[in-house]
Amino acid sequence: MAATRILTVEDDPAIRRGIVDSLQFAGYEVLEAADGPQGLQMALRCEYDLLLLDLILPEPDGFEILRQLRRDRPTLPVIVLTARGEETDRVRGLCEGADDYVVKPFGVKELLARVEAVLRRSPERPEPITSVDIPGGQVDLGRREVRFDDGRRAELSEREVDLLRYLAAHRGRAIDRDELLANVWRIPPRGLSTRTIDMHVARLREKLEDDPARPAVILTVRGKGYMFARPEVADGEKNPETNSAEP
């Protein structure tokens, strides 16, 4: 199973560095945001298993991030970080939907214990996708290989596998380029040209023998992004939202 991923939103560089180092040493995969705007963007777009959220941030503050997160992702576990003596912030954070809190300054053992406790109470994550069926064949994501029914094979790059796995895991939902940058490339969306995604999709379609003029596997959704086709779409049903003329 993939490592548990934790998003840390903390504007104090020293505290953030200590949290990140402690979590990584304990075996967690860590994403980090240094301010409110970046924290909000990553909280809503990134894939992760738990959010460590400082409440006192430049606008938007942690309370606003928590409110928006609870509206869009109501079951995602959240631990808020509060200053010593700020009982009202702790109470307000719990009322807004936080699962637990840690008071600054805190020790590594306390932080890890609270993280482990909240994760134990959270729903079990599904196993990652290991294979994907396509018209005329199958993709073995573990071996990074496309196997066609007539015996031909094609090799995929690691990035192409990650991209295909993410699209397939969200089958039938249009995924915009910012979300792909955040969860496949694992960088803030403003850090890379969107043409990078378009070029990777084009190469992936070529290896899957997915006709770009009439794709049956990876659809382009006009004004939104890309979507892994639902089975009925892959079998030829017209999707009115798609526009195959885009990359």
- Write down the pTM of the prediction: 0.62
**pLDDT tens-digit series, residues 46-65:** 989 999 999 999 889 999 99
d(CA 75, CA 89): 21
Are residues 73 and 179 in contact, defined by beta-carbon separation less than 8 angstroms? no
Taken in order of first residue, the domains within the chain and their CATH numbers are 5-121 (3.40.50.2300), 131-234 (1.10.10.10)
State pLDDT tens for residues 168-225.
988 888 888 888 887 787 776 665 556 888 999 999 999 999 998 999 999 999 888 9
Could you list the beta-strand ranges (E) of the chain.
5-9, 29-33, 50-54, 78-83, 100-104, 131-134, 137-140, 145-148, 153-155, 218-221, 225-228
Distance between CA atoms of 97 and 94, rounded to whole angstroms? 5
